[in-house]
Chain A
Amino acid sequence: MISIKNLHKRFDKLEVLKGINLEVEKGKVVVVIGPSGSGKTTMLRCLNVLETPSEGNISIEGQSLDFSHTVPKKSIAAFRRLTGMVFQGYNLFPHKTALENVMEGPIIVKKEDKRLAEEKARALLNKVGLSDKVDTYPAHLSGGQQQRVGIARALAMEPEVMLFDEPTSALDPELVGEVLKVMKDLANEGMTMIVVTHEMRFAKEAADEVIFMDQGVIVERGKPDSIFTNPKEERTKRFLNMLQ
Chain B
Amino acid sequence: MFLNSIFPDPEHAARLMDIAKTSLMPLLKGAIFYSIPLTIITFICGLFLAILTALARISHVKALQVIARIYISAVRGTPLLVQLFIIFYGLPNIGVTIDPYTSAIIGFSLNVGAYASEIIRAAILSIPKGQWEAGYSVGMSYSQVMRRIILPQAAKVSIPPLSNTFISLVKDTSLASLVLVTEMFRRAQEIASTNYEFLLVYSEAALLYWVICFFLSIIQQALEKRLDRYAS
Complex interface residues of chain A between 54 and 84 (CB less than 8 A to chain B): 73, 77, 80-81, 83-84
Contacts of A104 in B (CB 8 A): 138, 148
B156 to chain A, nearest CB (A): 7
Contacts of A154 in B (CB 8 A): 137-138
B144→A109 contact, CB < 8 A: yes
Docked CA distance A186–B225 (Å):
42
Q: Which of A30-38, A91-99, A126-134 touches B?
A: A91-99
Q: A95-B152, A139-B232 are in contact. Are A109 and B138 (CB under 8 A)?
A: yes
A43 to chain B, nearest CB (A): 15
User: Is B2 in contact with chain A by the CB < 8 A criterion?
Assistant: no
Total chain B interface residues with beta-carbon distance under 8 A: 21
A47 to chain B, nearest CB (A): 11
Docked CA distance A94–B136 (Å):
16
Docked CA distance A107–B141 (Å):
13
A91→B131 contact, CB < 8 A: yes
User: Is A8 in contact with chain B by the CB < 8 A criterion?
Assistant: no
Contacts of A137 in B (CB 8 A): 230
Q: Which residue on A lies nearest to B149, using beta carbons?
A: A93
Complex interface residues of chain A between 84 and 136 (CB less than 8 A to chain B): 84-85, 87, 89, 91-95, 104-105, 108-110
Contacts of B144 in A (CB 8 A): 108-109
User: Is B163 in contact with chain A by the CB < 8 A criterion?
Assistant: no
Q: Which residue on B lies nearest to A106, using beta carbons?
A: B138
Partner of B148, one of A91, A94, A108: A108
A139→B139 contact, CB < 8 A: no
A105→B153 contact, CB < 8 A: no
B153→A89 contact, CB < 8 A: no
Max count, chain B CB within 10 A of own CB: residue among A81, A108, A110: A108
B131→A105 contact, CB < 8 A: no
User: Is A157 in contact with chain B by the CB < 8 A criterion?
Assistant: yes
User: Is A48 in contact with chain B by the CB < 8 A criterion?
Assistant: yes
15 A-B pairs in the complex with CB atoms less than 8 angstroms apart:
A50-B136, A77-B141, A85-B137, A87-B134, A92-B134, A93-B131, A93-B135, A104-B138, A105-B138, A108-B140, A109-B139, A109-B144, A137-B230, A156-B138, A157-B139
With A48-B137, A85-B137 known, 4 other A-B pairs at CB within 8 A are: A73-B141, A77-B141, A109-B138, A109-B139
